[in-house]
Amino acid sequence: MNADVTAPLQPGSTIGILGGGQLGRMLAMSAAQLGFRCHVYSDVPGPALDVAHSSTIGAFDDLARIADFARSVDVVTYEFENVPLRAAAAAQEIAPVRPGPKALDVAQDRLTEKTFISKLGIPVAPFAAVGNLSELQAAAERVGLPAILKTRRLGYDGKGQVRLESADALAGAIDEIRGAPAVLEGFVAFQYEVSVLVVRAVDGAIRVYDPPINTHRNGILDTSVVPSPLPAAHRKHAEEIASRIALALDYVGVLAVEMFFLGETGGASLVVNEIAPRVHNSGHWTMDACTCGQFENHIRAIAGWPLGSTERHSDATMQNLIGDDVAGWREIAGEPGARLHLYGKTEVRPGRKMGHVNRLRPKTAG
Ligand code: AMP
């Protein structure tokens, strides 16, 4: 390993990416723009491999192969939060891993995550740990109903979640998540959801992107729109929350913090739902509407480079192209103001993220 791990990586260095999906693909494309090579490590072939200099197909629990991979690169990053901690630790013995494994540890388990964030004095939904039916009954008394039972691990896009309206539903909910360790979360009556993408450099410099308002379709992100209607004072507060979390994790790279906005409640107006220790779908608009988008800024951060400006020069609507939506590529390609991004996935499946489009408009105030 380079003796001075805080020295900036020279162009021509190799960045290792754990994970081979579309986020890895867009990271590798931004890395190439700055003169880096990427080596992608993935357990299955995926869209990142098409644009990487080299790739390894291997299991994430094959620590010997992870070590070989780490030896072939100058820094390691990841594009999904379920990288096993042991794999990240094995890589870290050989090359810097950015963001560090602590962020993975916190983000992989909803109980650890909620505990960590609330200990920083940042509001989260009321929550309680649940391991069985009697704990769920006790949790429901404490947290109140309606509530949402979420598995502690491996939930995404609303998977591994059961909404509970009444006490009759408790036993069925435990069966539905097959008794997996879980948290019960009180239902938050929010007005809308926003996310804050923050990027932190090796030297601790922090920049924040404008928070978009996010809408979902069938539990999957549908659109992210900037500017959001979030009032200016709350926007500043949302940015402070995200920056505090990044600092507390001693984070390097792009971090996404999803929040609910409750309106002027007299109590907490912003409640953190979850964090993602990586570039994020709700930040895809930054590729075309900001001076330096999230993918390039993540690469800059992990390479020890100065961060690029997060300033937004246009209003934008990012729309995901999910499943058959991608059939509209031709019309979108002909739309003025639309920037089309396709992930090169050959098989269309319902619910599969095939690409996205950023529709740009002249910047308004906000
Ligand atoms: P998650 O997987 O935690 O991002 O949750 C998926 C979606 O479920 C969120 O985007 C919200 O729309 C909704 N949701 C999750 N947790 C809560 C909560 N505590 N109260 C209300 N809605 C929630």
Reported as a single tens digit per residue, the pLDDT across 195-238 is: 999 999 999 999 999 999 999 999 899 999 999 999 999 999 99
Nearest CA to ligand 1 atom 8: 158
In the reported structure, the alpha carbon of residue 96 is separated from the centroid of ligand 1 by a whole-number distance in angstroms of 33
Nearest CA to 82 among 104, 63, 113?
Answer: 104
Nearest CA to 25 among 3, 2, 58, 47?
Answer: 47
In the reported structure, the alpha carbon of residue 2 is separated from the centroid of ligand 1 by a whole-number distance in angstroms of 42
Which residues of the chain fall below pLDDT 70? 1-5, 155-159, 366
Nearest CA to ligand 1 atom 13: 158
Nearest CA to ligand 1 atom 19: 187
In the reported structure, the alpha carbon of residue 153 is separated from the centroid of ligand 1 by a whole-number distance in angstroms of 15
In the reported structure, the alpha carbon of residue 169 is separated from the centroid of ligand 1 by a whole-number distance in angstroms of 18
To test ligand 1's pocket by mutation, which of 148, 272, 275, 320 has the most ligand atoms within 8 angstroms of CB? 148
pLDDT (0 to 100) of residue 156: 60
In the reported structure, the alpha carbon of residue 347 is separated from the centroid of ligand 1 by a whole-number distance in angstroms of 29
Query: In angstroms, what CA-CA distances link 305 with 47, 199, 253, 299, 348?
Result: 26, 12, 11, 8, 38
Segment 168-175 long-range contacts (CB within 8 Å, at least 24 positions apart): 170/133, 170/136, 170/137, 170/140, 171/133, 173/136, 173/149, 174/132, 174/133, 174/136, 174/149
Residues with CB under 6 A from ligand 1: 125, 148, 155, 158, 185, 187-188, 193, 216, 273-274
From the CA of 258, give the closest atom in ligand 1.
Answer: 4
From the CA of 155, give the closest atom in ligand 1.
Answer: 2
Residues 6 or more apart whose Cβ sits within 8 Å of residue 324: 348, 350
From the CA of 186, give the closest atom in ligand 1.
Answer: 19
In the reported structure, the alpha carbon of residue 214 is separated from the centroid of ligand 1 by a whole-number distance in angstroms of 12
In the reported structure, the alpha carbon of residue 188 is separated from the centroid of ligand 1 by a whole-number distance in angstroms of 8
In the reported structure, the alpha carbon of residue 273 is separated from the centroid of ligand 1 by a whole-number distance in angstroms of 7
pLDDT (0 to 100) of residue 94: 98
To test ligand 1's pocket by mutation, which of 273, 280, 320 has the most ligand atoms within 8 angstroms of CB? 273
Is 123:272 a contact under the CB 8 Å cutoff?
yes
